[in-house]
């Protein structure tokens, strides 16, 4: 089972008040620019647990998911974080 990892995210609001992530910072400090938002929907994180807005994003040519859980952002990690 995966783990929920909270990460810092830089986000912007559009004119309608929708929040859109533009970059995330991984635990090692590396900043990943989000190339494109492909989908936004309310969904559960099946690997990490929890529910929130799931953003399907394109980062460096790869599709990944990030979640906004109330006021914190998280990703699913395949390994535990020590």
Average pLDDT value for residue range 30-39: 96
pLDDT at 65: 93
Higher pLDDT among residues 80 and 18, named by residue: 18
Tokens representing 34 are 């989000």
Instruction: Count the domains in the chain.
Output: 1
Kindly state whether residue 18 falls inside one of the protein's structural domains. yes
Torsion over CA: 45, 11, 29, 38 (sign): positive
The bridge status of strand 36-44 relative to strand 51-59 is antiparallel
pLDDT at 79: 56
pLDDT at 2: 65
Structural domain range at position 36? 3-77
Tokens representing 30 are 């590396």
Kindly state whether residue 61 falls inside one of the protein's structural domains. yes
Higher pLDDT among residues 46 and 80, named by residue: 46
Kindly state whether residue 66 falls inside one of the protein's structural domains. yes
Answer yes or no: is pLDDT of 80 > 60. no
Kindly state whether residue 67 falls inside one of the protein's structural domains. yes
pTM, 2 dp: 0.84
Kindly state whether residue 82 falls inside one of the protein's structural domains. no
Long-range contacts of 32-35 (CB under 8 A, 24+ apart): 32/59, 32/60, 33/59, 34/58, 34/59, 35/59, 35/60, 35/61
């Amino acid at each position: 089972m995966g783990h929920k990892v909270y990460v810092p995210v830089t986000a912007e609001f559009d004119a309608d008040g929708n929040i859109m992530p533009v970059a995330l910072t991984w635990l090692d400090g590396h900043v990943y620019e989000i190339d494109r938002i492909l989908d936004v929907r309310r969904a559960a994180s099946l690997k990490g647990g929890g529910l929130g807005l799931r953003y399907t994003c394109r980062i460096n040519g790869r599709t990944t998911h990030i979640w906004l859980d109330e006021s914190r952002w998280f990703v699913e990690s395949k390994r535990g974080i020590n």
